[in-house]
């Protein structure tokens, strides 16, 4: 994060603009809308800008910046300065003068001479939404603003204003900040919100009073959420909503950083990652942890890579919750088999090649590598192996020993659906040698079957289908 976004209270504050053209006019409009007292310094001034200053009691100094300084202009009387000229030398000089006095300064279209940025704004006062690209792409910021303008109701500011009038009352009734957050979240998910937006303020007020009178300390709850294979755009809408409202995030090694960044920023984050032969927190302790946080009245998001019910031990965790009487929800995620195979261009089933698919794990509960080998040797079947990278050589030998063709196609998909995705294709007899050759690392999914042949034709990411 190169710039820290803030909202400045500028009512009756003096602000200075260097430059008198159309760009200066647009900046002056924004400042005046925010209640600032604007001064413009420029040898010449745009007629509309001059009229704007006259109507809003602004000030125009008809001279250059250097001459104004020589005539005794005191920069320290201004809260911030915007430079909007076409002269790079003037812009640079103004910037250095402001920097020397610790005055916030923005130079239009010159990020190297900026101490702050002016964002694109969606105004639903008192609700304000700012979109900034830190000067890299203002056109993109404006396009995003246009999209938001069309989707955010004009009346949404009423909800913020109405809530603000009740904030003190709610704070006196519900003294704990975490509980107040839950109260407001529940309220906004009810008919209260629609009543305010539709100007049914009497109904909204009665709804709020009733909610306050009936308020009880909330019981804890656990959300068992599948985070998918890695690409944050594969999250479900429900998963994202629960991630945003959870007080505690308990997450695994396979949850990618971009997904973790979508969780509520102030939520407590607890890492319980597990790798082969190295469990940061044993499964039994994870189960106990979920119960403990929920019994404290917290909303806990148990965030698991892939789908929690497919080799995710989600069943074990909710068994513990059931025994403890803890309320829970389960949100399915896109499992690695579906996500990684799709991103690699390998359909798991195909009318000509595979009429069934079987999910297997190479890391069983008792640590045993034994699988029903005879059942796995079937020509028109796709095998998908989770957590089988370490035992891959042995698994391939076992399948061949039980009758599988040595030239059966195999694909290894490492870190699937992420920017680091790597796919290696080979045969059953030679794929294990490819692991070290191509530096394949966990997490890796193994796909065995004739459908792997289709990757060359259906690899949509290399064909220009990726976004």
DSSP string, 100-129: HTT-EEEETT-GGG-SS---EEEEETTEEE
Which tokens is 166 given? Answer: 């009740």
**Among 78, 96, 83, which residue's Cα sits nearest to residue 21?**
83
Query: Which parts of 214-350 fold into alpha helices (H)?
Result: 237-245, 257-260, 283-295, 314-324, 336-343
- For residues 263-294, one letter each, b for 16 or more C-beta atoms within 10 angstroms of the residue's C-beta and e for the rest, the string is bbeebeebebebeeeeeebeeeebbebbbebb
> Taking a C-beta distance cutoff of 8 angstroms, is the pair 95, 108 a contact?
no
Q: What gap in Å lies between CA 196 and CA 50, rounded to an integer?
A: 40
Residue 56 CA, distance from chain mean position: 41
Q: What gap in Å lies between CA 400 and CA 271, rounded to an integer?
A: 40
Residues marked active site are found at 252, 274
DSSP class of residue 255?
A: S
Please tell me whether residue 460 adopts helix, strand or coil conformation: coil
What is the CB neighbour count within 10 angstroms for residue 31?
Answer: 22
Which tokens is 50 given? Answer: 């001059």
Helix or strand run (H / E) with residue 302: strand 299-304
**Among 392, 462, 398, which residue's Cα sits nearest to residue 433?**
392
Q: What gap in Å lies between CA 437 and CA 424, rounded to an integer?
A: 10
């Amino acid at each position: 994060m190169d710039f820290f976004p803030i909202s400045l209270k500028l009512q009756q504050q003096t602000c200075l603009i260097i430059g008198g053209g159309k760009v200066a006019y647009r900046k002056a409009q924004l400042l005046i809308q925010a209640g600032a007292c604007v001064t413009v310094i420029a040898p010449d001034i745009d007629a509309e800008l001059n009229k704007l200053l006259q109507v809003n009691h602004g000030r125009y100094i008809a001279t250059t910046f250097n001459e104004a300084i020589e005539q005794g202009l005191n920069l320290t009387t201004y809260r911030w300065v915007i430079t909007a000229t076409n002269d790079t030398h003037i812009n640079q000089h103004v910037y250095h003068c402001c920097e020397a006095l610790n005055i916030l300064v923005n130079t239009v279209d010159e990020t190297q001479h900026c101490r702050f940025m002016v964002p694109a704004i969606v105004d639903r006062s008192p609700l304000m939404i700012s979109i900034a690209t830190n000067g890299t792409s203002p056109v993109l910021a404006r396009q995003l603003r246009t999209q938001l303008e069309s989707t955010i109701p004009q009346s949404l500011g009423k909800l913020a204003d109405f809530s603000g009038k009740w904030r003190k009352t709610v704070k006196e009734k519900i003294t704990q900040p975490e509980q107040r957050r839950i109260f407001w979240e529940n309220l906004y998910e009810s008919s209260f919100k629609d009543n305010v937006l539709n100007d049914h303020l009497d109904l909204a007020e009665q709804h709020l009073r009733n909610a306050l009178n009936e308020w009880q300390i909330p019981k804890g709850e656990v959300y068992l959420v599948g985070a998918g294979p890695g690409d944050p755009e594969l999250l479900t809408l429900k998963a994202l909503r629960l991630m945003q409202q959870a007080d505690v995030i308990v997450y695994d090694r396979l949850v990618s950083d971009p997904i973790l960044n979508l969780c509520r920023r102030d939520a407590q984050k607890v890492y319980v990652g597990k790798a082969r032969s190295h469990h940061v927190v044993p499964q039994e302790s994870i189960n106990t942890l979920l119960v403990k946080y929920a019994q404290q009245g917290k909303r806990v998001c148990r965030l698991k890579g892939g789908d929690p019910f497919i080799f995710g031990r989600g069943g074990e965790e909710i068994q513990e919750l059931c025994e403890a009487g803890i309320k829970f929800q389960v949100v399915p995620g896109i499992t690695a088999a579906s996500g990684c195979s799709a991103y690699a261009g390998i359909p798991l089933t195909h009318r000509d090649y595979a009429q069934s698919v079987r999910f297997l794990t190479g890391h069983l509960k008792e640590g045993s590598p034994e699988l029903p080998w005879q059942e796995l040797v079937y020509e028109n079947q796709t095998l998908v192996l989770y957590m089988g990278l370490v035992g891959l050589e042995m698994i391939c030998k076992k399948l061949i020993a039980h009758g599988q063709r040595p030239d059966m196609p195999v694909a290894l998909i490492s870190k699937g659906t992420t920017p680091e995705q790597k796919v290696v294709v080979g045969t059953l007899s030679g794929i294990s040698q490819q692991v070290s050759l191509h530096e394949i690392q966990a997490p890796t999914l193994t796909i065995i079957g004739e459908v792997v042949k289709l990757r060359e034709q259906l690899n949509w990411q290399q064909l220009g289908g990726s976004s």
